[in-house]
Copies of this chain bind each other. A is one copy, B any other.
Amino acid sequence: MRATAKAVRLADVARAAGVGTSIASRVLNGDPTVSIRPETRERILAAARTLNYRPNALARGLKLRRTTTLGIIANLAYYYEIAEILIAVERVAAAAGYVVLIADTADFVERGEAYHRLLSERRVDGLLIASILVTDDFVRELNEEGLPFVVLNRRLPGVGLSASVDDSRGVATAVAHLAALGHTRIGYVAGETSAEPVRRRLAGFRAGMRTAGLTPEPRLIRRSPPDEENVFRATSELLAETPRPTAIVVWSPTAAVPALAAAHQSGLRLPEELSVMSYNDSPIAGYLDPPLTTVRMPLREMAERGVDCLLRTISGSRAASVVVRTPPVLVERGSTAAPPA
């Protein structure tokens, strides 16, 4: 137990192959400029194989000044929406030979420091930021330091790179669907903060309304903190307005669950008396009661492009922010219908 299986070093395989470490290194790394007798190369490869050699990532990183590690700062508590992103990030990163370090933003204020360290201590080659709890100021500081990072779905003009989807168009698509069904009094359960994507979605709601020839009524727009209880309350209040909205759009899939619960509690029949839609799809949306009509955004693609952008930056190429324009897709399920006559 704890046999401390002495790690095999490059020097070990070099010795086993009867060569120096330099040539061993170059062969193992497939240096194309190396000139070597095929037989010697084979000896080295064989030695590495039988010894089960793995280069020490630390030593290599130290020398190469890169870690082949990406960091991602995410708010794990929003897991319904972050999961898809996390999965995509991990997959793309792995495909590129990178591993990913995760940092939660649960207590961002105390730990902003910690995130700095991910980069400053050179633990990661680049950082992905996927939490709206990370302040714009923090992002700006990061930018000052000149280290590579990409912000997901937040656009900070002039500071760093970002990958985002067209939130505005997405929410507008939801509104359009409801308007097409004949709804005119449409409510919106919004996020609370003034974070950029929250604003963009709200703007999309208003734009969608106007496009449909409707006027967004301020009293039918309710902001709420993201936790279940507050969303529940906000939705209840929204539904208590008179005249009542005949349809509501919820700004995020996490918020959709408690919003739906509030709708149920209001005693209204869904979808006959009230239509409910969520911006962004989620794996459970189809299994809620009623199955939730949603607008699915290309989050995975956004994450992929974000990682791509980050990797490009790391490798020194000039990369640009990307806006994924893949059109939102309306996933029509059972929670929307024409308004009551």
- Could you tell me which A residues sit within 8 Å of B by CB distance? 1-5, 7, 52, 54-59, 61-62, 67, 69, 76-77, 79-80, 83, 86-87, 90-91, 94, 99-104, 106, 111, 114, 117-118, 120-123, 145-147, 228, 232, 257-258, 260-261, 264, 283-284, 286-289, 291
Contacts and interface: CB of A to CB of B under 8 A. Distances in A.
A146 to B, nearest CB: 4
B123 A106 contact: no
B118 A2 contact: no
A94 B111 contact: yes
Contacts of A291: 261
A261 B302 CA distance: 30
A58 B62 contact: yes
11 contacts: A2-B146, A57-B121, A58-B62, A58-B67, A79-B86, A90-B102, A90-B106, A94-B104, A94-B114, A100-B102, A228-B286
A115 to B, nearest CB: 10
A83 B76 CA distance: 7
Closest 4 CB pairs of A and B: A79-B83, A261-B287, A57-B121, A54-B120
In the complex, the count of this chain's copies comes to: 2
Nearest to A270: B289
B80 A79 contact: yes
Contacts of A145: 5
Given A2-B146, A77-B87, A114-B94, A261 B232 contact: no
Contact of A257 (B121, B147, B284): B284
Contacts of A86: 76, 79, 102, 104
Nearest to A146: B3
Contacts of A114: 94
Contact of A289 (B103, B147, B264): B264
B146 A5 contact: yes
Given A87-B76, A145-B5, A257-B284, A122 B289 contact: no
B286 A288 contact: no
Contact of A55 (B121, B232, B258, B287): B121
Contact of A69 (B54, B101, B117, B120): B101
